[in-house]
């Protein structure tokens, strides 16, 4: 086996390229292979990676070239790197548990090799390469023990054939855009958000580009193909982000390791089920996680934009949470101006008397944002945070929502992590809005329950474009944004806010399963849930916010998705269509245990888009059921083992 893990050759011909000192690292299951080679056909020059995927005995080039290198303020580590050695191969075999996410027990296997290079000044750069069964991760390391430098540029760049289909979101600091599907001459040249999804040119596999384990020693990055539409280069933040506050280039202190560059790879179901972004991130620093409680919350902002100003509205949404057996309600912005019968302390007492724990919104504040919404600036410093957390703990508040970060520069990365550390000290759950896409921090700080970083249901308040785009957008997100971490879309709205829906009631109900978030904010007004048929309302009373397993049953980005998630012995299924016409889909239950009978409760689109039809049946793992979906339709189901 070792000869497959580490293969050093003098000069090897590989698909028309002469490669020097090639290092080949396969995944433990042999499906993915990464090769390291020099562009100059010598052991001194520019170095790249080359990724292939093996399916049904056929090997396909998926990413023909991943350029490597860094430019530091004192010297370069790029054009004249001499390959020195490859370390002893290491087998990564890991299992860990998490309090929320798409799986409660995460397992992974990888082969790791460390390649050591030397630049003309005799300074060392190491590239740590891991090849997992569901993807690739690599990072840079400066092993020296001292020195402080600025990283002027990272030269990592992915060359991806133009014929590969891709789904990408134009860069914006809040990560709240739509995904664009494109290939060939339709590929746009601009800066792009993470994550980015691709289908290989020969359709042998899918892969998703992201980064993980970003810490205080770096900034968040993005992808840019402004020079070449087929070459996506790692790019630092725009100096203008966050109102120009903070440096765009990170300052590092040795010894240093970069964030992981992550490529999730495999079938579409492998992509959806992958926990690779968390797998490569630092383990939890919180020893006792018993106080971290995922769950569903009621939320008044979607239907009443200034609802938290009104004590009576706050109480109505508290009553909703209590009636629906949801553990939380969110007091959104302007809770410090609450009136009409009570103030904050009264609202908290009322919620606790109903068995509902409040969550509270904060403006991140500071010179990085012009947003004046209050309360503002209370999270800016360690001292102010700890004082605020102490007050919240005394009141009985369970967590905080912090909004408007507007930058991924190094100073903002520090700010995010400082908040999470202080919140952990105070046993306070956190979720970020107007923020960075998940970078694996929920593994390190499991009190991080969710991120927004998505164009979610609140956009029904802002324009008709979301109304028309929502069906397709919703069918893209399970394959892109929600793959890499919890996503606070604020789903499941049956009534209308400022602008209407064209999604069916079945579609909306399904989102409670399709979209994973450690705290799932149900966004509709109380009557939106109270007026549902009993079976749909009961479904929303029991649907979890954290899962033991996740499986993609069917789907294609932007067209349709059917997903099954398990909590204990009960499976929940959500399925949606983005199509303009009604369609029929067949659900196969071969993922269920053998020799076990289950009771299926299937809630589908009814005779029109604001009605449901319910079916009950007994099934096993050999069963199939046909489901009819209306245009922009959907369905939800529970599957419970029979005694």
Residues 542-587 pLDDT 10s:
999 999 999 999 999 999 999 999 999 999 999 999 999 999 999 9
Ranges under pLDDT 50 in the chain:
1-19, 21
Please tell me what DSSP assigns to residue 80: T
Radius of gyration of the chain (CA): 25
Cβ 35 vs Cβ 24: under 8 Å: yes
Strand, helix or coil for residue 318: helix
SS3 (DSSP) at 24: strand
Q: E-assigned strands of 15-164?
A: 17-26, 32-38, 44-45, 47-55, 58-67, 70-72, 76-77, 81-86, 90-97, 105-118, 124-132, 135-142, 148-154, 157-159
Q: In what order do the strands lie in the sheet with 148-154?
A: 76-77, 70-72, 148-154, 251-253
pLDDT at 22: 78
Give the pair of three-digit tokens for residue 176: 């709240």
Strand partners for 211: 261
Q: Which of 453, 440, 412, 449 is nearest to 212 (CA)?
A: 440
N-terminal to C-terminal alpha carbon distance within the chain? 46
Q: Which of 170, 178, 166, 237 is nearest to 208 (CA)?
A: 166
Rounded CA separation 601/639 (Å): 7
Contact between 28 and 2 under an 8 Å Cβ cutoff? The reply is no
| Residues contacting 214, CB < 8 A, separation 6+ | 220, 259, 413, 439, 440, 441
Cα gap 285→432, rounded to integer Å: 19
Alpha-carbon distance of 176 to 100, in angstroms, equals 23
| pLDDT reported for residue 1 | 41
Look up residue 76 and give its two tokens.
């370069």
For the whole prediction, is pTM greater than 0.85?
yes
Question: Around 184, how many Cα atoms within 13 Å sit in the side-chain half-sphere?
Answer: 0
Contact between 313 and 305 under an 8 Å Cβ cutoff? The reply is: no
CA angle 584, 590, 592 (to 5 degrees): 115
**Longest C-alpha distance within the chain, in Å?**
80
For 509, the token pair is: 């109900």
Q: Is 157 exposed, middle or buried (0-12, 13-18, 19+ CB in 10 A)?
A: buried
Residue 456 in tokens: 């979610």
What CA–CA distance (Å, rounded) separates 323 from 539? Answer: 13
Q: What is the pLDDT of residues 10-43, one digit of tens each?
A: 323 333 333 454 799 999 999 999 999 999 877 8
What does the block give as tokens for 141? Answer: 């390391």
Nearest to 419 by CA among 405, 406, 439, 437: 405
- Asked if residue 413 lies in contact with residue 432, where contact means CB atoms within 8 angstroms, the answer is no
Residues 6+ apart with CB under 8 A from 151: 70, 71, 72, 73, 218, 249, 250, 251, 252
Residue spans of beta strands (DSSP E) within 445-578 = 448-451, 519-522, 549-556, 560-567, 570-577
pLDDT at 20: 52
- The answer to whether 599 and 470 have CB atoms below 8 angstroms apart is no
Q: Do the Cβ atoms of 449 and 430 come closer than 8 Å?
A: yes
Show the tokens assigned to 321: 């949470």
Assigned token pair, 382: 């360690």
What is the set of domains in the chain, with CATH numbers? 2-98+105-279 (2.70.98.10), 295-505+516-541 (3.20.20.70)
Decide if 126 contacts 117 (C-beta within 8 A): yes
For residue range 453-470, list pLDDT tens digits in order: 999 999 999 999 999 999
Crossing angle (nearest 10°) for helices 311-323 and 344-353 = 20
Of 478, 466, 473, whose CA–CA distance to 561 is shortest? Answer: 478
- Strands 328-331 and 357-363 turn out to be parallel
**Helix (H), strand (E) at residue 224:** strand 222-224
Query: Three-state SS for 184?
Result: helix
Lookup: tokens for 168: 């990408």
């Amino acid at each position: 086996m070792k000869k497959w893990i580490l293969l050093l050759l003098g000069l090897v011909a590989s698909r028309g390229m002469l490669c020097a000192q090639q290092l080949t690292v396969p995944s433990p299951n042999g499906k993915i292979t990464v090769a390291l080679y020099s562009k100059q056909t010598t052991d001194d020059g520019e170095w790249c990676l080359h990724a292939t995927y093996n399916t049904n005995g056929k090997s396909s080039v998926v990413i023909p070239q991943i350029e490597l290198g860094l430019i530091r303020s004192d010297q370069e580590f790029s054009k004249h790197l001499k390959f020195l050695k490859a370390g002893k191969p290491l087998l990564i075999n890991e299992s860990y548990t998490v309090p929320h996410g798409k799986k409660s027990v995460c397992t992974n296997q990888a082969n790791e090799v460390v390649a050591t290079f030397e630049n003309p000044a005799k300074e060392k750069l190491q590239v740590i390469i891991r090849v997992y069964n569901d993807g690739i991760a690599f990072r840079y390391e400066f092993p020296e023990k001292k020195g402080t430098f600025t990283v002027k540029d990272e030269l990592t760049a992915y060359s991806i054939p133009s014929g590969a289909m891709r789904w990408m979101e134009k860069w914006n600091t809040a990560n709240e855009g739509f995904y664009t599907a494109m290939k060939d001459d339709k590929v746009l040249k601009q800066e792009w958000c993470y994550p980015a999804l691709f289908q290989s040119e020969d359709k042998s596999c899918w892969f998703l580009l992201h980064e993980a384990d970003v810490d205080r020693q770096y900034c968040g990055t993005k992808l840019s193909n402004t020079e070449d539409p087929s070459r996506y280069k790692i790019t630092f933040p725009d100096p203008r982000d966050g109102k120009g506050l903070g440096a765009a280039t990170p300052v590092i202190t040795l010894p240093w390791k970069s964030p992981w560059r992550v490529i999730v790879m495999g079938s579409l179901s492998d992509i959806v089920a992958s926990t690779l972004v968390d797998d490569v991130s630092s383990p939890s620093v919180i020893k006792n996680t018993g106080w971290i409680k995922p769950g569903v919350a009621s939320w008044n902002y979607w239907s009443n934009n200034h609802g938290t100003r009104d004590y009576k509205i706050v109480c109505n949404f508290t009553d909703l949470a209590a009636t629906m057996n949801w553990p939380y309600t969110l007091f959104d912005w302007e809770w410090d101006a609450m009136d009409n019968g009570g103030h904050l302390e009264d609202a908290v007492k009322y919620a606790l008397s109903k068995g509902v724990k409040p969550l509270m919104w904060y403006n991140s504040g500071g010179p990085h944002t012009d947003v004046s919404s209050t309360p503002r600036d209370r999270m800016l410093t360690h001292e102010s945070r700890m004082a605020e957390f102490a007050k919240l703990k005394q009141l009985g508040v369970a967590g905080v929502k912090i909004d408007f970060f507007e930058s991924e520069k190094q100073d903002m990365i520090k700010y995010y992590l400082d908040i999470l550390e202080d919140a952990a000290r105070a046993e306070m759950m956190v979720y970020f809005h107007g923020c960075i896409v998940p970078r694996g921090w929920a593994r390190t700080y499991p009190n991080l329950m969710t991120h927004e970083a998505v164009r979610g249901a609140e956009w029904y308040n802002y324009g008709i474009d979301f109304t028309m785009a929502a069906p397709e957008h919703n069918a893209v997100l399970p394959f892109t944004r929600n793959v890499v971490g919890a996503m606070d879309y604020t789903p499941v709205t049956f009534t209308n806010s400022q602008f209407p829906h064209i999604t069916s009631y079945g579609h909306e109900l399904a989102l409670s399963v399709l979209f994973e978030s450690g705290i799932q904010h149900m966004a509709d007004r109380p009557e939106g849930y109270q007026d549902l048929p009993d079976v749909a309302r009961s479904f929303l009373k029991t649907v979890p916010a954290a899962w033991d397993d996740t499986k993609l049953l069917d789907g294609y980005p932007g067209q349709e998705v059917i997903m099954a998630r398990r909590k204990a012995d009960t499976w929940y299924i959500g399925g949606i269509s983005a199509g303009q016409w009604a369609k029929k889909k067949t659900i196969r239950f071969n993922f269920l245990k053998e020799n076990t009978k289950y009771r299926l409760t299937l809630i589908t689109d009814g005779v029109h888009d604001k009605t449901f039809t319910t079916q009950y049946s007994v099934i096993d793992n050999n069963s199939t059921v046909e489901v009819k979906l209306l245009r922009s339709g959907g369905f939800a189901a529970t599957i419970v083992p029979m005694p």
